Chains A and B, each alone.
Chain A
């Protein structure tokens, strides 16, 4: 959801809550409301604490998932880097295929997949390159002990790359279930409704206080929504770790090309 839409939601929520204050003050005597402060106060405290703790944990949970997704992207890029570096020291020409496929994979992830992930999709081209990369790595046959050691490391790095890739494809499909959004909405609305039952002498003061409470609630719900989907929206995981590798590896491949021509 765009930031503009959230601003509209926040303005609408503040306007509605202010309208609620005015309607309640018109229909119910302020003196009567003030008489009940002793009851409204602990009830709001109870509902408020319940909702604050719940929302706090939900935001913390969403942030943890976001952090996991960010670390996962870093690890995947790291694993791709390991595959490239290990392959570079294997026997040619088999190593060249692995290096070229690694760069192809990085290109496809940066240029195609990260955009598709915003719509919850993975790229077929990436899956194909990933499959080719596996094939290159597992079909390699080391001739010396040194190559065998490198090959072991290569297969492990490839396994790690695969795990991170699959984790990423699962992460794009995970989001907070709709019923939980309903619970969050019910909690937020209840708190705002409870604030309407306070009788403050100054209408202006009550409107300002109600607006602030509403704004803070909307802001918290926005945080939850923003961190809930790590690969789309304003707060999203970037493809920087892949791009750094991509640039470096293109340079290495170009250097090797040059050296081969000399």
Chain B
């Protein structure tokens, strides 16, 4: 979800919180509320702390998953890079098609797949190029001992690429269970709701504090929402590790073509 849309939600939440606070002020005896402030204080502190710690750890957990996705992307891009370089050491009839397909795979991932991943989909074209690559790598017949050594590592790199690709396909589907969202929402509403039970003499002061508390809570929830989907939203992961390879591979292919 974009930051602007979330800020609109936040604005609605702040207005709702102020509305709730005004309702409580209207229908309850402020003097009585003030008398109870000493009890409301530790109770609010307990609920607030509990929720803050819960939300903090949830955000930390989402950040860890986000980091894992980032590392998977880096490993996948590295595996394609290895394959491109290793293929160059094979017999020319085997090497060029693999090198061209490595670049095609990167193009498909960067140009097509990355957009579709926002909708939790993988791209068919990328799967097709990936299948072709497997076929090409598996069909290589090394002619010399040197090529055999290179081929061994090439197969390892292809396996790595497959593992990372499958991990990425799983990561785009991973999300926080709905029941946890319910707990977060309940915690936030309870924390804000508890603040209404303080007896304030100054309406302005209470309005400002309620608004600030609601805003900070919403901003923290925004972090949870953002880190929860590593491939969508404002802080989505970029295909930089793949994109880094694009110009380099194109240049090498052009150089090789010129040599031949």
Interface residues of A (CB under 8 A from B): 28, 32-33, 35-36, 38-43, 45-47, 49-51, 53-54, 56-58, 61, 64, 122, 127, 131, 134-135, 137-143, 148, 151-152, 155-156, 158-159, 162-163, 166-167, 169-170, 173-174, 177, 179-180, 182-183, 186-187, 190, 193-194, 197
Which listed residue (B60, B201, B216) contacts A190, Cβ 8 A? B216
Q: A179 to chain B: which residues have CB within 8 Å?
A: 3, 222, 226, 234-235
Contact A50 B220, beta carbon cutoff 8 Å: yes
Q: B223 to chain A: which residues have CB within 8 Å?
A: 54, 180, 183
Contact A39 B45, beta carbon cutoff 8 Å: no
Contact segment of B46-54, B111-119, B178-186: B46-54
Shortest beta-carbon distance from A25 to chain B in Å: 13
Shortest beta-carbon distance from B224 to chain A in Å: 10
Contact B37 A39, beta carbon cutoff 8 Å: yes
Can you give 22 A-B contacts (C-beta < 8 A)? A32-B201, A39-B195, A43-B209, A46-B213, A47-B212, A51-B216, A53-B59, A57-B56, A137-B89, A138-B85, A138-B90, A142-B145, A148-B148, A152-B152, A162-B82, A163-B75, A174-B240, A179-B234, A183-B222, A187-B219, A193-B208, A194-B212
Asked whether B77 is an interface residue with its Cβ less than 8 Å from the other chain, the reply is yes
- A43 and B244 contact, Cβ closer than 8 Å, known pairs A36-B200, A53-B53, A162-B82: no
Asked whether B11 is an interface residue with its Cβ less than 8 Å from the other chain, the reply is no
Contact B153 A46, beta carbon cutoff 8 Å: no
Interface residues of B (CB under 8 A from A): 3, 37-38, 40-42, 44-45, 48-49, 51-53, 55-57, 59-60, 63, 67, 70, 74-75, 77-78, 81-82, 85-86, 88-90, 144-146, 148-150, 152-153, 157, 191, 195, 198-202, 205-206, 208-209, 212-213, 215-217, 219-220, 222-223, 226, 234-235, 238, 240-241, 244-245, 248, 252
Task: Classify the interface of chain B: helix, strand, loop or mixed.
Answer: helix
